[in-house]
């Protein structure tokens, strides 16, 4: 069924391309192209045990703790599960059953495969729901699967994106039926537990879908009764998620945001302060450098020229198809794209305790742009050329990604050689070389380190890799995700002074070990005292980017004895 109220007819001349079979007969069979695309998407996950995804190792470690803390004395002593209904549970809901029957690292890759395949299926399904036919065009979404959020290891969001596209398709397909609102309420509640940003994005999409019904030919009269009825429908979708959020984790996350932007209160006015702070940031020229780079988020790989070319090919192809009269668009999806683009520039980072929020909206805009448009190729030859070009581009991108992922395995092996020196049951402080040595979030870092060691601008992909110490050595690390408003895991009271409260996972700048008086400086490290008195709290210090550390002529601080020197990891034993 073509939802004509939501899709726009093709331009002049395009009607001649239609046939009784919906123009699908001109396309090569979808089932011939789709298996090749799926094979290319899965290839990196088959070849690499530990992909260089920023947050991914930390998420794996958290799942492992939740799976074993009741039976493992060490884990049970240090961690406990939180019963707070946090809006970030999708990975646990899927991974805990998977990791119960599969090895942890295989379960993690199965999860990533599910995230990628469901997202691509969601784009195909949404396009089918809008335009009434299965099409080759939304397979362009395959180019967006390995995007900035997946490279960032944002696991619940990555899988939640696929569920969002499916839920949006259901809402549109059930338009005018009595089951639409009950199904929508179920989807909204599910997406709340999947990820709060996914739920908010879903509601933004529904707003666009319902808003376009009030414009154009055959529009819905904007009477008070109609507007009130639609408002009640939205209220029904929101009532349970809002109640859960406001009554549980909302205050925690507002306080996190307040600390991050330097505010002294956590009142609702803080939200306006954050938006103002973001808009003010956009007046700085250097911020536009970051914004321009963030625009590559849907195609972020390990080669900027390839990413730019990919984005230009997609956008240029759409413009050419529109000028030729081959492309039609769903106005509701184009409105949603516009809203997500606006959110990309306006919504601050952090927002409700979550970082890299804006790039998620840009990625959502990219998927909706592809799923919300349709190209009717004029001939089988044109469709075949499109399919061949898509497969060629995806093959090149997959090759670049796989090469970098395989190279990252040497860094993982280096960490494991360091971990072999750690006795189970110990505590390990995580540090990195720091900006003093030209490490992390600096131009020098980008120029001197290979691509697989940095993600999301200059943020090192190695940051969370030491979380595997908990998995493989059953030792405590302070960087494990345990924020009370964001994670279903908390550190037990005796060890609270060793864990990080707000900026989870951020290592200590190694210079703070010698100069703890600088610990209050916001730009150096998060305001948490877990590193104060480190000689009494920890048995080891693991140093990341030891190559940079030694190149800068730095030496271990007093009280630390080097026991392993590797390529990018050093291990120091704390002497008491």
Contact status, residue 240 vs residue 335, Cβ threshold 8 Å = no
Contact status, residue 508 vs residue 430, Cβ threshold 8 Å = yes
- pLDDT for res 551: 82
- pLDDT > 90: what percent of the chain? 51
Q: Model's pTM, two decimal places?
A: 0.88
Whether residue 502 is predicted with pLDDT greater than 70 in this model: the reply is no
Asked which of 85-94, 246-255, 292-301, 400-409 is least confident by mean pLDDT, the reply is 246-255
Q: Which two tokens stand for residue 385?
A: 């050329």
The string of pLDDT tens digits covering residues 102-152 is 999 999 999 999 999 999 999 999 999 999 988 999 999 999 999 999 999
- pLDDT for res 279: 63
Q: Report the 3 state secondary structure along 22-52.
A: CCHHHCCCHHHHHHHHHHHHHHHHHHCCCCC
Q: Which two tokens stand for residue 391?
A: 């497969």
- Rounded mean pLDDT, 11-38: 54
| Residue scoring higher pLDDT (327 or 549) | 327
- pLDDT for res 567: 92
- pLDDT for res 105: 97
- pLDDT for res 275: 63
- pLDDT for res 37: 96
Q: Which two tokens stand for residue 104?
A: 């942890």
CA distance 463 to 460: 6
Whether residue 413 is predicted with pLDDT greater than 80 in this model: the reply is yes
Whether residue 26 is predicted with pLDDT greater than 50 in this model: the reply is no
Q: Which two tokens stand for residue 466?
A: 């030491």
Task: Kindly indicate the confidence band of residue 97, based on its pLDDT and cuts at 50, 70 and 90.
Answer: very high
The string of pLDDT tens digits covering residues 160-207 is 999 999 999 999 999 888 899 999 999 999 999 898 899 999 999 999
Task: Kindly indicate the confidence band of residue 63, based on its pLDDT and cuts at 50, 70 and 90.
Answer: very high
Task: Kindly indicate the confidence band of residue 259, based on its pLDDT and cuts at 50, 70 and 90.
Answer: very low
Whether residue 250 is predicted with pLDDT greater than 60 in this model: the reply is no
φ/ψ (deg, to 5) at 375? -115, 125
């Amino acid at each position: 069924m073509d939802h004509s109220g939501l899709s726009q007819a093709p331009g002049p001349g395009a009607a001649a391309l239609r046939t009784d079979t919906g123009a699908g007969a001109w396309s090569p069979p979808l089932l011939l192209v789709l298996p090749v695309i799926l094979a290319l998407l899965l290839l990196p996950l088959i070849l690499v045990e530990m992909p260089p995804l920023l947050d991914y190792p930390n998420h794996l470690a958290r799942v492992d703790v939740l799976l074993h803390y009741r039976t493992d004395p060490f884990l049970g002593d240090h961690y406990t599960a939180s019963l707070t209904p946090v809006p970030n549970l999708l990975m646990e809901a899927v991974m805990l059953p998977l990791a119960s029957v599969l090895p942890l690292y295989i379960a993690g890759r199965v999860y990533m495969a599910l995230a990628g395949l469901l997202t691509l299926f969601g784009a195909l399904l949404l396009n089918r729901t809008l335009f009434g036919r299965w099409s080759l065009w939304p397979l362009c979404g395959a180019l967006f699967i390995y995007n900035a959020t997946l490279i960032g290891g944002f696991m619940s969001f990555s899988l939640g994106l696929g569920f969002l596209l499916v839920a949006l398709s259901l809402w549109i397909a059930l338009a005018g039926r009595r089951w639409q609102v009950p199904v929508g309420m179920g989807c909204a509640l599910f997406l709340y537990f999947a990820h709060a940003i996914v739920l908010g994005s879903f509601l933004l999409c529904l707003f666009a879908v319902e808003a376009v019904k009030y414009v154009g030919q055959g529009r819905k009269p904007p009477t008070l009764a109609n507007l009130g009825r639609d408002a009640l429908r939205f209220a029904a979708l929101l009532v349970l998620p809002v109640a859960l959020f406001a009554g549980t984790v909302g205050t925690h996350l507002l306080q996190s945001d307040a600390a991050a932007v330097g505010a002294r209160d956590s009142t609702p006015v803080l939200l306006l302060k954050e938006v103002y702070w973001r808009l003010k940031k956009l007046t700085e020229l250097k911020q536009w450098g970051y914004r321009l780079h963030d625009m590559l988020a849907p195609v972020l790989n390990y080669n900027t020229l390839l990413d730019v070319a990919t984005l230009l090919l997609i956008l240029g192809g759409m413009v050419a198809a529109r000028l030729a009269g081959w492309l039609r668009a769903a106005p509701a999806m184009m409105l949603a794209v516009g809203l997500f683009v606006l959110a990309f520039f306006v919504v601050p980072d952090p927002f409700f305790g979550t970082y890299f929020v804006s790039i998620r909206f840009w990625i959502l805009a990219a998927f909706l742009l592809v799923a919300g448009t349709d190209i009717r190729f004029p001939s089988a030859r044109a469709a075949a050329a499109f399919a061949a070009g898509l497969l060629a581009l995806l093959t090149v991108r997959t090759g670049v990604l796989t090469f970098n992922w395989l190279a990252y395995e040497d860094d993982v092996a280096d960490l494991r050689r360091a971990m072999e020196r750690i006795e189970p049951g110990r505590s390990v402080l995580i540090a990195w070389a720091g900006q003093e040595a030209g490490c992390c979030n600096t131009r020098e870092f980008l120029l001197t380190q290979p691509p697989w060691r940095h993600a999301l601008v200059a943020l090192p992909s190695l940051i969370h890799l030491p979380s595997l110490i908990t998995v493989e050595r059953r030792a405590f690390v302070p960087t494990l995700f345990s924020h009370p408003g964001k994670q279903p895991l908390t550190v037990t009271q005796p060890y609270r002074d060793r864990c990080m409260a707000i900026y989870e996972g951020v290592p200590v700048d190694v210079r703070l070990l010698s100069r703890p008086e600088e610990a209050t400086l916001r730009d150096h490290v998060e305001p948490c005292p877990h590193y104060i008195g480190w000689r009494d709290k920890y048995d080891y210090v693991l140093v990341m980017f030891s190559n940079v550390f030694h190149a800068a002529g730095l030496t271990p601080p007093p009280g630390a004895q080097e026991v392993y020197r590797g390529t990018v990891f050093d291990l120091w034993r704390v002497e008491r």
